[in-house]
Amino acid sequence: MRRRRDHLLFKNLDWWSIATYLLLVFIGWVSIFSAVYDPEHSHIFDTSQRYGMQMIWMFGAWLLAFVVLLIPARTYVLYSNLIYFIGILLLVVVLFLGVERSGSRSWLVLGPIHFQPAEMSKLFVAIGLAGVMSRPHFHIQNRRGFLQAAFLILFPMALIFLQKEAGLAVVLTAFVVVLYREGLSGWVPIMGIVAVVLFLLSILWDPVYVLWLCLGVVFFIGFLESPKKRPVLITALIFASVYFAVPLALKLFSVDLFSYIKKYQWFLALAGVLSATLLVIAFKNKITYLKVLLPVFAGCVLLVFSVDYVFNKALKPHQQARIETLLGIDTDIYGSGYNVYQSKVAIGSGGLTGKGFLQGTQTKYNFVPEQSTDFIFCSIGEEWGFVGALLVISLYAFLLFRIIIMAERQRHPFGRIYGYGVAACVFFHVFINVGMTIGLTPVIGITLPFISYGGSSLWTFTLLLFILLKLDASNY
Amino acid sequence: MNKRGKNAIILFFIVGLLLLTGKLFFLQLINKEYKVTADNNVLRYEIIYPSRGLIYDRNGAILADNKAAYDILITPRELAPFDTADFCSIFNISRERLVNMLADIDARRQSIGYQSVIFVRQVSNQQYTHFLEKSYKFPGFSVQTRSVRNYPSDICGNLLGYIVEADKTYLERNPEYRAGDYIGRTGLEEAYEKTLKGEKGYTIFLRDVLNRIKSPYAEGAYDKPSVPGKDMVTTIDLPLQLFGEELMQNKVGSVIALDPTTGEILTLITSTGLSTEYLTNFGVHYSQIISDPLKPLFNRAIMSSYPPGSVFKLVNALIGLEEEVIDPSTRFSCNMGYRAGSLTVGCHAHPSPTNLVQSVMMSCNAYYCNVLRSILDNPVYENTAQSMDQWERYVKSFGFGTRLGIDIPGELTGSLPGSALYNKMYGKNGWRSLTVISLAIGQGEIGTTPLQLANLAAIMANRGHFYTPHLVKEIPDDNAAQPKATQNHTLVNPHHFEPVVEGMYLAVNSPAGSGATARLAAIPGIDLCGKTGTAQNPHGEDHSVFVCFAPKDEPKIAVAVYIEQGGFGASQAAPVASLLVEKYLTGDIQPSRKWLYERTLEQDLLSRHLQ
């Protein structure tokens, strides 16, 4: 009985997704061919070249996809914990037995096979998370549930950071999307985004301006929330006038306040007094919104002052440089900004319809580094122009659309949670990867799904997608 | 579960992908900057330098052509240890110098990258051959052939100008030039840069990020061959130019000879000028040239403005005639000078009184003081200022106080006073004809260039008109760039010239004892007309000036000679001009005048300048 159903399952597959998948893989193969084209090895099947190798990865991926479709869907649900555990084990093992490649220790070598467990982490985190969160009494709104989910994401993330694969670790934050879909308050992702923005602003601006911005926003929210508007306005005015008037008044007596303390110290002193006063009032009069707002402000202040430490101590010089390049502080196009600059030149020179297949001079002559892996999008942008780039982005958009449709139509929450995990990973990879080639996001070295050269990436995304297809087809 | 979450996520995805699309739109369709960069990145243009156009004299003799020069290039990335002693001996440089040069290259390593830069500039042919024999011993060194100027005859370099690498300011002003291009500076090389330079060509190669040449781009379809510069025939008469330079040796000053019927300059000499051997490698000799007290870069023929001295009496005589304040029979007496109240303008001893012809012949100062006063105090005009301005207009029509428009850069206007200047100096109505009496004899506020004096000689020869003096006769391949010699008329009627020319003729050709000033210049068989001048020089000996033309009827040559600190015009300038005329008209110096030729060569006036 089950056997017969399994045979039928091939009919229920979402062929739209499979077609899009095959198209993207094919585009990838051709782009790699074009990016590393060598007239002496002009055959796309030549396995001494990357394009030939990619063909082998492609066949491998399809074999894997076929195997996945043969395995009963419930296996992933039943063994989700085991799969997650094996994944974590690999991440630990690689820390000890891994081979060091360009500064990071993330590759496992088993004879001829080289692979990167960190790249695979998306897969087992998606399955593990789906397994835990689809349990009957799991609620993300509960503290216990939240902490469980957070741990499932943060633990492998920490292990990957230890392997010095910061990019692949950051990818896992994409799973916040899954948590949000399952009922996590929208404040968590918003706070996250606010934190990132504040972090970047603190690098760009003098801290005093960032502090003023925070305070301004706090006053604004207070103004909206407070039943009486006037006291909020008066408080804001008093604060601003004291901040500016006192140093001016002191100057009349030829005392320069800012020769004794720095501007931000003066600001903090005043803000401290204000916060303390407001806190007392908040507790006396039981004003709820103030009780929330004040800690948030305190948090912002802490963040602003941690930036200096995080940026200079926690980040490595090349990571600092990448952020500075992104923010336009570092414009050294022959130094740290070289990759992004050359990549922008390649894509920008493509124009509307591109230079044509194999005619891309920027990528073909090695101006763009990592052109077949992380910067493969350059080749597409240069040779196929805006039209080609838009086509690729549209394909991703369509695929994401299909994935969400599949996720939403799952009867079992496992399928839905897993589906959103797949969507989140694909989106994050596409957004960051394409973004970094055009100077929109920092260069963190992650691949373009289905297109970039390399077995680990292609196989991981193939598995991610086909497990979802199998779940969908059998509608477990 | 909740649809809100799903929609928010879809919205989030859409916003993200739209951000990417927007940035791509801007990058690929709006911003053009990256397109240009991509071309620069990948195409390597190997410049093919054109050879400069040749410069010929009027009879086809070569003044400047080109020869191959060899620069030794270094490619730091390909450098390997080599036999430094051998290298030093080939190029005749000291070991310390080589070490310094290599250290200098090493310091620039970063910016040089994979390129080659010049290591030793312009090595000799012999050094080049030696290097070629042993080049296998010097990895990282190569030879670049370049064409440089060659001067078959050593003529006055100021006339031709020199060639240097374009500097930063030049590149900023002339965006069509690139760093490393050579440009003509001063003289004909600068004036006719556009004609002579030719067009650079290039071969396009594709290169990769390491600057390795991958292949010729599109099989050379877009390559451009270089176009050699256009040749140029000048008006210079090479034998005459060389002869003039010989006569001017050890003297400071200038000589200009021109054909009055066309304005073609036959000879243009500034002494002491630039030797052509400095022209080829100007940069190397620069400090030496700049520190020379005789200022070889200074083209005296067009850049110096001196008082013309007595030569200017010709102009005053003509104005007097035209204004009808004198006529050829007007006589003024001279008693060793002109006296008016406390003012005295001295004169030399000569028969008195004189008529106009005699006054030119004997160069009487008193006569011209009277002439100028008659011009300025002419009752036809309301006041001195008006008559002064009328005088200025006349003088200007002779080409004084303006640029004549010779086709080499740097020509001065000279200075020509008018009532405005004197009003400024003395206040309105604060001056009268006596105040400016020095102008009568070519002294005072007037300054002229030797070229303007040569032009005056041409005007005298033509009896009242002149052609713009110019140096280029023909550009066979480019008629448009040729200078146009326009005919200019003075404000003086041609028939007034005859008595003045007669005076110039007698000044040279009168018998001994007649008081003629330029008898030294007389050439048996040739009717030479001339006028001497002696310009007062507060800094030393007076300047010696002579203008002349010959023959008297149908003149073929007009000459001006200005010799600084040469003393009397007759003693130094007149023989030079006279010998030049004889050489031009007869091709030789007749035996009876060999002594004058030899005397002129022996004159060494440099010591006067070097004190």
Same domain, A237 and A158: no
Q: What is the pLDDT of residues A340-357, one digit of tens each?
A: 777 888 888 888 888 877
* pLDDT value for A335: 56
Q: Check CB contact under 8 Å for A349 and B38.
A: yes
Secondary structure (3-state) at A359: coil
Closest by CA position to B308, among listed B451, B412, B431: B451
* pLDDT value for A371: 75
* pLDDT value for A331: 55
Q: Which two tokens stand for residue B537?
A: 């020089």
State yes or no: pLDDT of A334 exceeds 60: no
**DSSP of B241-286:** HHHHHHHTTT--EEEEEEETTTTEEEEEEEES---HHHHHTHHHHH
Chain B residues contacting A via beta carbons under 8 Å: 1-2, 5-6, 8-10, 12-14, 16-17, 19-21, 23-25, 27-29, 31, 33-35, 37-39, 41-43, 206-210, 214
Mutate to test the interface with A, among B6, B20, B219 (most CBs of A within 10 A): B20
**Rounded CA separation A335/A332 (Å):** 5
Greater confidence, B146 or A122? Answer: A122
What pTM value is reported for the model?
0.58
Q: How far is CA A187 from CA A149, A359, A424, B61, in A?
A: 17, 48, 18, 92
Residues present in chain A in total: 476
Residues of B in contact with A438 (CB under 8 A): 20, 23-24, 27
Q: How far is CA A59 from CA A66, A68, A108, in A?
A: 11, 14, 21
* pLDDT value for A441: 85
Per-residue pLDDT band for A112 (boundaries 50, 70, 90) equals: confident
Cβ proximity of A377 and A433 under 8 Å: yes
Same domain, A157 and A81: yes
Nearest-CA distance from B74 to chain A in Å?
24
- Mean pLDDT, 10 residues at a time, chain B of 611 residues: 75 93 89 68 68 92 87 80 87 88 82 72 83 82 80 88 85 78 89 88 67 62 80 94 93 94 95 83 80 87 92 95 93 88 85 91 93 93 92 95 92 92 90 91 93 96 95 85 84 94 94 86 93 86 92 95 85 93 94 93 84 64
The answer as to whether A191 is a domain residue is: no
**DSSP of B489-528:** E-SS-GGGHHHHHHHHHHHHHSPTTS--S-GGG-BTTB--
Residues of B in contact with A434 (CB under 8 A): 20, 24
Which residues constitute the domain of residue A215?
196-314
End-to-end CA distance of chain B: 108
Q: How many domains, chain A? A: 2
Q: Check CB contact under 8 Å for B38 and A362.
A: yes
* Percentage of the residues of chain A whose pLDDT score is greater than 90: 33
**Rounded CA separation B595/B591 (Å):** 8
Same domain, A160 and A289: no
H or E stretch covering B65: strand B62-74
Q: Check CB contact under 8 Å for A350 and B28.
A: yes
Mean pLDDT calculated for residue range A86-92: 94
Q: Check CB contact under 8 Å for B206 and A181.
A: no
A333 touching B, CB under 8 A?
Answer: no
Cβ proximity of B164 and B193 under 8 Å: no
Residues of B in contact with A439 (CB under 8 A): 23
A-B Cβ pairs (cutoff 8 Å, strict): 116
Residues of B in contact with A423 (CB under 8 A): 9, 13
The answer as to whether A278 is a domain residue is: yes
Least confident range from A208-217, A256-265, A430-439, B215-224: namely: B215-224
**Rounded CA separation B457/B439 (Å):** 19
Residues of A in contact with B38 (CB under 8 A): 345-346, 348-349, 361-362
**Rounded CA separation B212/B217 (Å):** 13
State yes or no: pLDDT of A386 exceeds 80: yes
**Rounded CA separation B12/B584 (Å):** 94
Q: Which residue of A has its CA nearest to B6?
A: A181
Same domain, A376 and A270: no
**Rounded CA separation B164/A186 (Å):** 71
Q: Check CB contact under 8 Å for A439 and B23.
A: yes
* pLDDT value for A141: 85
The answer as to whether A156 is a domain residue is: yes
* pLDDT value for A100: 76
Same domain, A310 and A222: yes
Q: Check CB contact under 8 Å for B28 and A365.
A: no
**Rounded CA separation A453/A427 (Å):** 18
Residues of A in contact with B31 (CB under 8 A): 348
Partner B, chain A 197-256, Cβ-Cβ below 8 Å: none
Of A247, A282, A314, the last residue of a domain is A314
**Rounded CA separation B374/B356 (Å):** 14
**Rounded CA separation B436/B371 (Å):** 13
Nearest-CA distance from A259 to chain B in Å?
44
Q: What is the DSSP letter of B54?
A: P
Closest by CA position to B177, among listed B189, B188, B161, B165: B165
Same domain, A178 and A251: no
**Residue B82 burial (C-beta neighbours within 10 Å; 0-12, 13-18, 19+):** middle
Nearest-CA distance from A38 to chain B in Å?
11
CB atoms within 10 A of CB B409: 17
The answer as to whether A347 is a domain residue is: yes
Q: Which two tokens stand for residue A451?
A: 């297109």
Torsions phi, psi of A165, nearest 5? Answer: -110, 65
Q: Which two tokens stand for residue A204?
A: 């760009």
Of A256, A284, A314, the last residue of a domain is A314
Helix/strand/coil percentages in chain B, nearest 5: 45, 20, 35
Q: Which residue of A has its CA nearest to B9?
A: A177
* pLDDT value for B44: 62
**Residue A234 burial (C-beta neighbours within 10 Å; 0-12, 13-18, 19+):** exposed
CB atoms within 10 A of CB B512: 7
CB atoms within 10 A of CB A226: 16
Greater confidence, A266 or A112? Answer: A266
The residues near B125 (Cβ < 8 Å, ≥ 6 apart) are B70
State yes or no: pLDDT of A247 exceeds 90: no
Q: Are strands B55-56 and B232-234 parallel, antiparallel or unpaired?
A: parallel
The answer as to whether A101 is a domain residue is: yes
Mutate to test the interface with A, among B1, B25, B34 (most CBs of A within 10 A): B34
The answer as to whether A190 is a domain residue is: no
| Of residues B6, B28, B43, nearest to A386 (C-beta) | B28
**Rounded CA separation A454/A58 (Å):** 10
* pLDDT value for B465: 95
The answer as to whether A374 is a domain residue is: yes
CB atoms within 10 A of CB B132: 11
Per-residue pLDDT band for A2 (boundaries 50, 70, 90) equals: very low
Residues of A in contact with B206 (CB under 8 A): 361, 365
Structural Rg of chain B based on CA atoms: 33
Q: Which two tokens stand for residue A408?
A: 């939403």
Q: What is the DSSP letter of B379?
A: T
The answer as to whether A355 is a domain residue is: yes
* pLDDT value for B411: 94
Same domain, A209 and A276: yes
Of A314, A333, A356, the last residue of a domain is A314
Q: Check CB contact under 8 Å for B28 and A435.
A: no
Note the ipTM here: 0.85
Q: Check CB contact under 8 Å for B5 and A180.
A: yes
Residues of B in contact with A385 (CB under 8 A): 28
Same domain, A360 and A466: yes
Residues of B in contact with A344 (CB under 8 A): 27, 34
**Rounded CA separation A31/A37 (Å):** 9
Q: Which residue of A has its CA nearest to B1?
A: A182
Same domain, A90 and A214: no
Same domain, A90 and A180: yes
Residue type, B359: S
**Rounded CA separation A28/B225 (Å):** 42
Positive or negative: CA dihedral B275, B279, B284, B285: positive
Cβ proximity of B162 and B278 under 8 Å: yes
Q: How far is CA B594 from CA B240, B508, B581, B590, in A?
A: 17, 18, 14, 7
Q: Which residue of B has its CA nearest to A345?
A: B34
Mutate to test the interface with B, among A140, A178, A184, A345 (most CBs of B within 10 A): A345
A272 touching B, CB under 8 A?
Answer: no
Strands ordered across the beta sheet of A104-110:
A99-101, A104-110, A113-115
The residues near A113 (Cβ < 8 Å, ≥ 6 apart) are none
Closest by CA position to B560, among listed B542, B540, B581: B581
Does B129 sit behind a cis peptide bond, omega within 30 degrees of 0 on the bond before it?
no
Residues of A in contact with B114 (CB under 8 A): none
Same domain, A69 and A118: yes
Nearest-CA distance from B13 to chain A in Å?
7
Partner B, chain A 70-109, Cβ-Cβ below 8 Å: none
Give the CA count within 13 Å in the CB-facing half-sphere of B356. Answer: 23
Residues of A in contact with B10 (CB under 8 A): 401, 404
Q: Check CB contact under 8 Å for A345 and B37.
A: yes
Secondary structure (3-state) at B547: strand
CB atoms within 10 A of CB B519: 17
Q: Which residue of B has its CA nearest to A369?
A: B209
Residues of A in contact with B5 (CB under 8 A): 180-183
Same domain, A389 and A289: no
Closest by CA position to B229, among listed B376, B52, B11: B52
Q: Check CB contact under 8 Å for B41 and A385.
A: no
| Of residues A381, A404, A420, nearest to B28 (C-beta) | A381
A434 touching B, CB under 8 A?
Answer: yes
